[in-house]
A and B are shown apart, each in its own frame.
Chain A
Amino acid sequence: MGTEMPFLVLALPTLAFIILALVPQLRRSGKPAAYLVIISSAASLWAAVKLLVNQLSLGDEVQSEFLIRWLPNGGDSLTDVGWLIDGTSAPMLVVVGLVALCVQVYSLGYLDEESPEGLGRYFTWHALFVFSMQSLVLAPNLLQLFMGWELVGLCSYLLIGFWWQKPEAARASVKAFWVTKAADGGLLLGLIILMGATGGTGWNPEGISSGTLNAITLLLFVGVMGKSAQMPLHIWLPDAMQGPTPVSALLHAATMVAAGVFLIVRGWPLFEVSSLTLSVMLWVGCITAFCAAVFALLQDDVKKMLAFSTCSQLGYMIAALGAGGMAAGYFHLTTHAFFKALLFLGAGSLIHAVGTNSMSKMGGLAKKMPFTFVLFTMGSLALAGIFPFAGFYSKDLVLETLEHGHHTIPLVLAMGGVVVTATYVGKSLTLIFFGSNNSPDAHPHEGPITMLVPMALLGSLTLGAGFLLLKPFQSLLGNDDAVFHFTTLGYIGLGLAVLGLAVGNWVAKGGSVKALKPMGDFILSSPLDRLYVTIWRRVLLAGGKGMAWVDRYLVDGAMNALGWLFVILGNKAKTIQTSRVDNYATTVVAGAAAICLSSIVLWTLFVGAV
């Protein structure tokens, strides 16, 4: 088992990417390129599943570790590259591989109207993404994780801007890249400090002072905030919906945005002992969970609603981690990957059928698209946290973790978030599937089989992952606490969810409170975005102009002045050569006198009196 399986997990998508990158004819042919990538993803998934099965028998021990020394440091190694397969990375490999495969198969049906060149380009980026994400997941140290991190950011840029002819898409891709890149500054700083403190980039917190540890993890968390769209760095995620819906499903719901959470899980030895960072995570997570849910409630566009919903759910994961519940956060990541991807694929099916993103233009689709109706509802109920779907189990674990740590206000915020989540779920379900059809021109129909099968697969996982996978999951993480059982909190949570659904139904039927509309409009006008743009223009660009001025006039100016000084001195020195003999005679005499005088002066200074 040793080295072949992990190598295959990484190598097959890479191979597909390289082939497609180097052979333009294949890439531009469209469907063959797609099949190549799908086959490589499937094979990579098969290898990942084998690894997971093997890992289950090992618990949380390291199954396979492979390191190549990359940057030497004296006799030791500064950093290695390779892989580390253990209880933390094995499940994520399968999650990523599975969702990626589903999304890729779905894309064949969703993008059937795309040109062959476009399709080939799309699948090339997909291959790159699978490689990048998997190399992030099985990274043995922070530096390789960071490399994968940056690569998935690149893929995000490329895929959001897939239809770059649309100006909104081009802007959105740049915005996503910029915001995450700015946050990555923090991550890089944390990495550097870690390197300085330990001489390597592993996750061993021994020997680092607690202040430094807090600094490192806090900076790493800044990077996480960007990648996982926590407030206030969430602004890129709603705009990222400009990309094709399968991309939103894969990157911006299931995997890439989850990379931030995964970083914390991976680096848990460091985070576990950084109490300051954990508190920050707790609060940021809860606030994001609640506020993003409110934003989702205000949205009419189904994809934007799902985007804010993703922010909110990521907030739950981060809050759970902040409260110390690594297993809870990681499990919620897993279930969320399944049901959110399902929701996005379902949304794609709806958009494909009706031709619009706007929920208020949909309606009455339950009968016309029964398959989508069932699956989308399953995903929605999981999102709301209704038993027995997977989301119920994972969300309850999160709430339990918060309660266990006696974090009262965060718990209240989280439970409020549960209500609001269920509200927007109920609202969306009502608007989309019930009532009368608001778009009489469209002819809604189910998509092709390539779209339906992945949805079904994800749907079954959404249903079963909760009670089937929790136990194995915990054993993989070596985490035996939080044995699941029904507690009061569970009942309360369930009750809140049902309440929320009912409220949502009422809201959708037009019962929204008029007083809240101004606030809704204010939020929808995205004041945070405008703040960021102002900061960008006033502070960063002005600062840049200032520095350019300094560079041009002071730095260059000093060098130019030095040059000019010598030119002027040379001109002045030129005047000695007057070509007149009497001047030359004078100069000779003056020179002789100068030599005499200076020799006398020097003699007096260094030897003594004349």
Chain B
Amino acid sequence: MIPFYLTAAAMLVSAIMVVRSTDLVRAVLWLSVVLGATAVAFIQLKADLLAVIQVMLYTGGVITLMLFAVLLTWRRDEGKPAAGRHRQGIGALLALGTAGLFVAAISRTELPEHTPLVESDSAAVGALFLQQHVVAFEALSVLLLAAMIGAIVLARRSDA
């Protein structure tokens, strides 16, 4: 239990800091903490492959991208957290409401009998990818290619 609670605490605290932090760079860095905590969570859930990929792609790739974006478009007056009490109130209301909804749903559901994983087998995951779901895998790679090209096109200077 202790690993779970530690991970959960780290995740939640960092998440709150992400949404409340006024400085964008700080927010991005807090996000990296969240992503790291998520990787730890994955390990606890016996998903080693997922954890590794999480670290590589997210904390490596996404955070870097975010930092680039922040620094490329940095203005002095940005990052203020919210547009007034009104919006914050609605946000809090909706967030709490949604959370409450999910919590209520989870607590009332009879979850099926589970025999949890005891060990993490990356080869099995890979086999799943390349055997049952190979079409989706290939499509995903095409999508990544398209996204890459799209991002380059979109970010081009129009006069170039």
In the bound complex, what is the Cα–Cα distance between A38 and B90 (angstroms)? 96
Asked if residues B101 and A597 are in contact (CB atoms below 8 Å), the reply is yes
Q: Is the CB of B83 within 8 A of A596?
A: no
For A582, the closest partner residue in chain B by CB is B83
| A589 at interface, CB cutoff 8 A | yes
A593, B98: Cβ atoms closer than 8 Å: yes
How far is the CB of A201 from the nearest CB of chain B, in Å? Answer: 73
Digit string of A578-607 for contact with B (CB within 8 Å is 1, else 0)?
A: 000010001001100100110010000000
Contacting residues, chain A, for B108 (C-beta < 8 A): 609-610
Q: Which residues of B contact A582 (CB under 8 A)?
A: 83
Neighbouring B residues of A596 by C-beta, 8 Å: 98, 101
* Min distance, Cβ B13 to any Cβ of chain A, angstroms: 23
Q: In the complex where A610-B105, A610-B108 touch, is A586 in contact with B98 (Cβ < 8 A)?
A: no
Residue of A nearest to B97 (CB): A593
Looking at the complex, which one of A590, A600, A609, A610 makes contact with B90 (CB distance below 8 Å)? A590
Name the distance in Å between A480's Cβ and chain B's nearest Cβ: 101
A600 touches B101 (CB 8 A): yes
B94 at the interface (CB under 8 A from A): yes
B111 to chain A, nearest CB (A): 14
Residues of A contacting B83 in the complex (Cβ-Cβ under 8 angstroms): 582
Q: Select from chain A the residue with minimum beta-carbon distance to B104.
A: A610
Interface of B is mostly: helix
Quote the shortest CB–CB distance from B92 to chain A (angstroms). 12
Q: Does B156 contact A (CB under 8 A)?
A: no
B87 adjacent to chain A (CB < 8 Å):
yes
A596 to B97, CA, bound (A): 11
A184 CB → nearest B CB, Å: 71
User: For window 81-126 of chain A, which residues contact chain B by CB distance below 8 Å?
Assistant: none
For residue B90, which residues in chain A have a CB less than 8 angstroms away from its CB?
586, 590
Shortest CB-to-CB span from B78 to chain A, Å, is 14
Whether B94 contacts A590 by the Cβ 8 Å rule is yes
C-alpha spacing A586/B89, complex, angstroms: 12
A610 to B105 CA separation, bound complex (whole angstroms): 8
Given A593-B94, A610-B108, CB of A586 within 8 Å of CB of B101: no
Nearest chain B CB to A63's CB is how many angstroms away?
A: 94
A52 to B98, CA, bound (A): 101
A589 CB contacts on chain B under 8 angstroms: 94
Instruction: Report how far A582 CA is from B90 CA in the complex, Å.
Output: 13
Shortest Cβ distance from B84 into chain A, in angstroms? 12
Within the assembled complex, what's the spacing in Å between the Cα atoms of A148 and B54? 103
Residues A586 and B87 in contact, CB atoms below 8 Å apart? yes
Q: Given A582-B83, A586-B87, A590-B90, is A597 in contact with B105 using a C-beta cutoff of 8 Å?
A: no
What CA separation (Å) do A590 and B98 show in the bound complex? 10
* Residues of chain A with a CB closer than 8 A to B101's CB: 593, 596-597, 600
Q: How far is the CB of B107 from chain A (nearest CB, A)?
A: 10
Q: Which residues of A contact B104 (CB under 8 A)?
A: 610
Q: How distant is A313 from chain B, measured CB to nearest CB, in Å?
A: 91
Distance to closest chain B CB from A609 (angstroms): 8
Q: How far is the CA of A589 from the CA of B60 in the complex (A)?
A: 29
| Set of chain B residues within 8 Å of A590, measured between Cβ atoms | 90, 94
Contact with A along B90-117 (1 / 0, CB 8 A): 1100100110010011001000000000
A352-390 residues with Cβ-Cβ distance < 8 A to B are none
Residues on the A chain within 8 Å of B87, using CB: 586
Which residues of chain A in 158-206 are interfacial with respect to chain B, using CB atoms and an 8 Å cutoff? none
B109 nearest CB neighbor, chain A only = A610
- Give bound CA distance, A467 to B87, whole Å: 110
Closest chain A CB from B68 CB (angstroms)? 22
- Max chain A CB contacts within 10 Å: which of B87, B90, B94? B94
Q: Are B97 and A597 in contact (CB under 8 A)?
A: yes
Q: Which residue of B lies closest to A586 (CB)?
A: B90
Closest to A610 in B: B108
CA distance A600 to B105 in the complex (A): 9
Chain B, Cβ-Cβ closest to A597:
B101
Would you list which residues of chain A between 107 and 163 have a CB under 8 Å from chain B?
A: none
Nearest B-chain residue to A592, judged by Cβ: B98
Closest to B98 in A: A593
CA–CA, A514 and B108, complex, Å: 110
Instruction: State the Cβ distance, A462 to closest chain B Cβ, in Å.
Output: 102
Q: Nearest CB to that of A600 among chain B residues?
A: B101
Shortest distance between the CB of B145 and any CB in chain A (Å): 28
A593 to B98, CA, bound (A): 7
Chain A residues with CB under 8 A of B97: 593, 597
A597 proximity list for chain B (CB < 8 A): 97, 101
Query: Shortest CB–CB separation between residue B30 and chain A, in angstroms?
Result: 21
CB 8 Å contact bits of B117-134 with A (1 = contact, 0 = none): 000000000000000000
Residue ranges of B at the interface with A (Cβ–Cβ < 8 Å): 83, 87, 90-91, 94, 97-98, 101, 104-105, 108
11 A-B pairs, CB-CB below 8 angstroms?
Answer: A582-B83, A586-B90, A586-B91, A589-B94, A590-B90, A590-B94, A593-B94, A593-B101, A600-B101, A610-B105, A610-B108
Interface, chain A (partner B; CB < 8 A) = 582, 586, 589-590, 593, 596-597, 600, 609-610
Give the top 10 A-B pairs by smallest Cβ distance, nearest first: A610-B108, A593-B94, A593-B98, A596-B101, A590-B94, A589-B94, A593-B97, A597-B101, A586-B90, A610-B105
Query: With contacts A593-B94, A609-B108 known, what are 18 further pairs, Cβ within 8 A?
Result: A582-B83, A586-B87, A586-B90, A586-B94, A589-B94, A590-B90, A593-B97, A593-B98, A593-B101, A596-B98, A596-B101, A597-B97, A597-B101, A600-B101, A600-B105, A610-B104, A610-B105, A610-B108
